[in-house]
Amino acid sequence: MYDLIIIGGGPAGIAAGIYATRKKLNTLLISRDFIGQVGKAFLIENYPGFEEIRGVALMERFKKHLEKFAIDINEGEEVSKISKRKDGTFEVTTSQKDRYFARAIIVASGRDPRPLEIPGEKEFLGRGVSYCTTCDAPLFQDKDVVVIGGGNSGFGAALELSKYCPKIYILHRGSKPRADEIVQERVKKTKKIKVLLNTDIKEIKGKNFVESIVYQDLKIKKQKTIIVQGVFVQIGSIPATGFVRGLVDFNEKDEIKIDSKTFSIKTPGLFAAGDVTDVPIKQIVVAAGEGVKAALSVYEYLQNVKIKNQNAK
């Protein structure tokens, strides 16, 4: 029986882990990976102490820091269910069917990429369709690619791909890109990147691998095709909450509602932190801070449970 199980190895989960172990809580951290959303970011320029650092490099530093402490880490495992037991403790099941038990839980599972949900997307996943430039860009050396999404993620992805690909198209649904001006300027300077606005993506086509993408030009109301070998989807994200249904309340965006003072959810002993919650600002420094607050709240919760149990004896 652990004192605490943390689900997620992003900034929120790692920061929670560091603080929990320093409070001598017997802790297990389970994470699908140590890439999270940060590892998908091309360059981080707003995390204090690092003027400029690649997302993957920052995650490596976070993980190394966590490993300094006495904590059990299960990497490569995905939590599929959490249930509350009669005695108030929790059972955590993973998709590998392993079971773990704890007195408290912190859900720090962040967000997953939002899919396009168009024909060809699922069929060509891993065969030309990708959601992570940092992970897959080198596989597209000398190939033409499309990036879907005109926000910071889309523009950042295109910049990263420009190191490998001769031609990159950014397709954005709106009439104006949403990326920050500074990022747009960088893209303008890169002659390899072409931004196409007012586009509605219809289908990804190919035989064994991606060969083209079909979109509707919303301005002239005409369907067009671009010949590309890769499609990078960068249209936002959705909270990773499938395993916690029934134990929490969600807001209209499917984010876990938390008490901003205690970090607790409607189920006693269950806490949440970072981008999976309804805290409005989704940034690394915020997620890390929220993870810390959740860990310290768990410590207080476990102390109170201990006192109650002693009084009951």
Ligand X SMILES: Cc1cc2nc3c(=O)[nH]c(=O)nc-3n(C[C@H](O)[C@H](O)[C@H](O)COP(=O)(O)OP(=O)(O)OC[C@H]3O[C@@H](n4cnc5c(N)ncnc54)[C@H](O)[C@@H]3O)c2cc1C
- Chain residues binding ligand X by CB under 6 A are 7-13, 30-33, 36-38, 40-41, 44, 46, 78-79, 108-111, 153, 240, 243, 274-276, 282-285, 287
Tokens of 144: 């033409």
Nearer to ligand X, 36 or 150 (CB): 36
Nearer to ligand X, 12 or 201 (CB): 12
Nearer to ligand X, 195 or 244 (CB): 244
Whole-angstrom distance, CA of residue 270 vs CA of residue 88? 10
CB of 228 to ligand X, least distance (A): 20
How far, CA to CA in Å, does 30 sit from each of 95, 191, 229, 257? Answer: 12, 43, 35, 22
Say which amino acid occupies 52.
E
CB of 281 to ligand X, least distance (A): 8
Task: Count CB atoms within 10 A of the CB of residue 238.
Answer: 14
CB of 145 to ligand X, least distance (A): 16
Helix (H) or strand (E) segment spanning residue 205:
strand 199-206
Nearer to ligand X, 178 or 202 (CB): 178
Whole-angstrom distance, CA of residue 100 vs CA of residue 199? 47
Whole-angstrom distance, CA of residue 13 vs CA of residue 292? 9
Tokens of 307: 């006192």
**Strand-pair partners of 18:** none
Whole-angstrom distance, CA of residue 54 vs CA of residue 63? 15
CB of 98 to ligand X, least distance (A): 12
CB of 305 to ligand X, least distance (A): 25
Nearer to ligand X, 63 or 205 (CB): 63
CB of 283 to ligand X, least distance (A): 4
150 contacts 197 by C-beta, under 8 angstroms: yes
Nearer to ligand X, 76 or 88 (CB): 76
Which are the contacts of 273, defined by CB distance < 8 A and separation ≥ 6?
A: 12, 13, 16, 106, 107, 108, 258, 263, 287, 290, 291, 293, 294
Nearer to ligand X, 135 or 305 (CB): 135
CB of 168 to ligand X, least distance (A): 16
